[in-house]
């Protein structure tokens, strides 16, 4: 009879974050458009724990350039007037 509470020598594959991140990055770099479509589908379904991060990245894609342009304009005007 086996002891159910006895821990295994190695963690299960689902607890290997480096392998998971490596697979995600490989998929993103080799097929960026397919990966973007897949991430959009994941976000639309809303069943993944990564959904908030996907949505934040989507919003940041528009907000970050706007903020950088505004900072650049502000600094440009400041140094032009000074």
Lowest mean pLDDT among 2-6, 30-34, 35-39, 78-82: 2-6
Query: Residue 21's pLDDT is what?
Result: 75
Tokens in use for 2? 């086996």
Query: Residue 13's pLDDT is what?
Result: 55
Tokens in use for 61? 């894609």
Cα–Cα dist 54/29, whole Å: 17
The pLDDT tens digits of the residues spanning 43-77 come to 888 877 878 888 888 899 999 999 999 999 999 99
Cα–Cα dist 17/27, whole Å: 15
Query: Residue 40's pLDDT is what?
Result: 85
Q: What torsion do the CA atoms of 60, 63, 64, 69 make, to the nearest 10 degrees? A: 170
What is the overall mean pLDDT for the chain?
Answer: 81
């Amino acid at each position: 009879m086996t002891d159910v509470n006895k821990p295994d020598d190695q963690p299960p594959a689902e607890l290997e974050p480096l392998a998971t991140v490596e697979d995600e990055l490989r998929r993103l770099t080799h097929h960026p458009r397919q990966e973007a479509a897949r991430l959009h589908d994941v976000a639309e379904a809303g069943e993944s724990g990564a959904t908030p991060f996907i949505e934040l990245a989507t919003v940041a894609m528009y907000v970050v350039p706007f903020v950088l342009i505004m900072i650049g304009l502000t600094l440009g005007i400041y140094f032009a007037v000074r």
